[in-house]
Structure 1
Amino acid sequence: MTVVFTNDARERISIQPNPVPVPHVKPEIWQEEQADIADCAQLRFRHLYFDGVHIGYCHLDIHENIQVTTEETTPLPGFVFLQQGSCSVTSFEDRTTRHYTAGQHTVLKNPYATATTVFKKQHNMQLFLLSFLPERFQQLVQDIGPVTDELANSMFRYQPGPQAWHDSRPITPRMQFLISEISNNHYQGTWNKLYLQSQVLELLTLQCEQLEQTVAAPKRGFRLLPADIKKVELARDILLHDLQNPPSFTMLCKQVGLNEFKLKKGFKQVFHHTVFGYLKDHRLEIARSLLSAGELSVTEVAYETGYTTLQHFSNEFKKKFGVSPARIKQRI
């Protein structure tokens, strides 16, 4: 199957093979691919296939606006995490165009085959892709919940699903941590496979849990307008901008233009966490990453992530991860 690239004038500028995974690819081996798309873009793709699961990382440098089209193909249900950049996707199922921005993820029937994907000029666009053979996806998500069951059955039977499945959802700090762990793990052989399986299953569980909650959320009597959701997302960005000096809740409400009730309820609905519970989790995930990197002391990590005392940091870290930050340093 091929991928066709056109420019804003709808002129064909390149045809490339689709990097869609296939079951006979040797498992547990990372494959590296690069492609120059005329003078318009550079693509770097790293991927791995094992046990009906496909993991892919895509980095794109887009030098001018391009449009990508593919042929419709068999389902390969999966999730796309847009870590950096933006794009617009038109699906084969309902021909609806949806716009995605950094920090979001969504469900696609096949992340490697969309009717049209439009990329604007941008540098270092980053995508993480997690997809499954339909039978494997159905097996993994069976009985998680009614929304996920319906999604799996729809994909398995090649049927279109509700629009809500394709809506973007936020990449939580825990999801981002798992993506980083999958990308940077150093296990080999059987240990590599076991480790990847555990990380992929946790990531899939978080996605399905989020899907169940967000699709069902409008039925609970509190609904945010699209403009309100953007304000809630802005509140998240402001909150995480300076971990050492985050704004107070009252100041955060003023900065985004929402009252305290709507921000509190809206943040819980969008991110499934309280405002400062989300901040604390993010701080601790960053702290664990910094400790694992081994370049900073425990005291320096505590300061970098906004803790005023080492004792408070150590207590919170051990409560979340079951081990003290000093023990993390000792393992390096």
Structure 2
Amino acid sequence: MTITLSQQDYWQLVRHIQETNAAASQPHQDINRNTDEYDITWKYPKQLGAGYYRKIRIRDGIVLAIADYRLHDDLIITSDEREHPLELNYVLMGAAPSESYPVKVGQHCFCGSGMAPEEAGYEVADLHKFTVNIHIEPALLGQWATDCSKELSQSLNYLIKPPDRLYHLQIYNTSSAMQQIVQHILQCPFQGLTQRIYLEGKVWELMALQLAQLPEMDGSTPSAKGLKPDDIERIHYAKELLVARLDDPPSLIDLARLIGINDCKLKVGFRQVFGTTVFGYLQDCRMERARQLLTAGEMTITEAAQAVGYVNRSHFALAFRKKFGINPSVYRKRQRHFWQIS
């Protein structure tokens, strides 16, 4: 069975477990922690799986999260467009590829700040997942670049973007030096204020190593691996395949295999060529096709939903309303009224 949750519902469920069962929450046996307001561990929701989630607020603007769990069922978490801070996400065990985070064990994802697009994350049941995630507000990085916290260095422009601009995202292999620092974080021997000072030092060590991996920061967007004409042609073919298979679209990995390039190049290249993610483009096409079907008046809402790949009518209605600002039932009634008076 596959469970689908919005990101908001997912975190509401996790926090509900924290609030109603806080007394039963126990830290992972391999991690020492101080049970204060800055460092909270709670059990993973038993409805979804087993494990724990730990959140440490190191200081204002820096949050460390450690997740160690195993799901009972496959899980899809959908996210709307949202403002995103700087992020380092290290995969230590069992992460499955997704639309925006095709990160494997021994790799990490680095996100700049800005707008994170609408997306869907896929997680596989019975797979042990262990990740270390760090969120940093961009103004803090700016303090290292300039003497004024309100003025960001020009060299960081492509990493620190306003909320209406798509954020920078790239996948890296995690170096041995980074792996060692991550282990230091997991094995932190301190508590309270000493713990937070120690962990902040490790966070900035990781950020320094990360920045050292980036292209020369000259105030312009880093030169991503250039797309060859053949790559661009394949990416256009990927778009055609999506349009042709709206009712049963291929996964990102399958789509990459069909067009003959790897999934990472497809993800990055699709965004470069069309200015949106593969998932975002697919959703737009689905909704536009559904609107056309409802306008034609030859299908019910359920039939239109199925024609564009939706099994659950309520999920379809939610996506339609988000795209067009109106429920599909209301839209169809208006169209039928228009046909009657035409």
Instruction: Give the structure-1-normalised TM-score.
Output: 0.49
Q: Select the structure of larger CA radius of gyration.
A: 2
Instruction: Give the structure-2-normalised TM-score.
Output: 0.48
